[in-house]
Amino acid sequence: MKFEYHVKPTGNDAACGDVEHPFATISKAAQMASPGDTVIVHEGVYREQVDPKRGGLSEHERITYCGAEGEARPVIKGSECVQGWTELADHP
């Protein structure tokens, strides 16, 4: 059976991943997806490394990742936001 998983930055990785209850991370969707499934990534910034648990079985039975139709492209970054830093006053 083929499934369609949804991911939104405002989602929750404890959710079921459907359109009304999306995952928060692409990594969670990649962990759940099986050959033949589709992962729809909604607009937003995703700061994560994605390492899919499974691959496809063939050209016709693969896991497909795509942006949500009609939305801005999602941005996937491996970088993290720096917090808690202080600028040095005497440093050029």
Any idea which residue has 């700061």 for tokens? 47
Domain contains 48? yes
Q: What's this model's pTM, rounded to 2 decimal places?
A: 0.84
pLDDT tens-digit map of 25-34: 999 999 999 9
pLDDT tens-digit map of 45-80: 999 988 888 887 788 789 999 999 999 999 999 787
Backbone dihedral region for residue 44 (phi beyond 0: left; psi -120 to 50: alpha; all else: beta): left
Look up the domain containing 5 and give its range: 1-79
Burial (CB count <10 Å: 0-12, 13-18, 19+), residue 1: exposed
Domain contains 85? no
pLDDT of residue 92: 63
Closest CA to 26 of 74, 86, 89: 74
Residue 1 has pLDDT above 70, yes or no: no
Q: How many domains does the chain have?
A: 1
pLDDT of residue 17: 98
* Identity of the amino acid at 79: S
Domain contains 69? yes
DSSP state of 6: E
Residue 60 exposure: Cα atoms within 13 Å on the Cβ side? 0
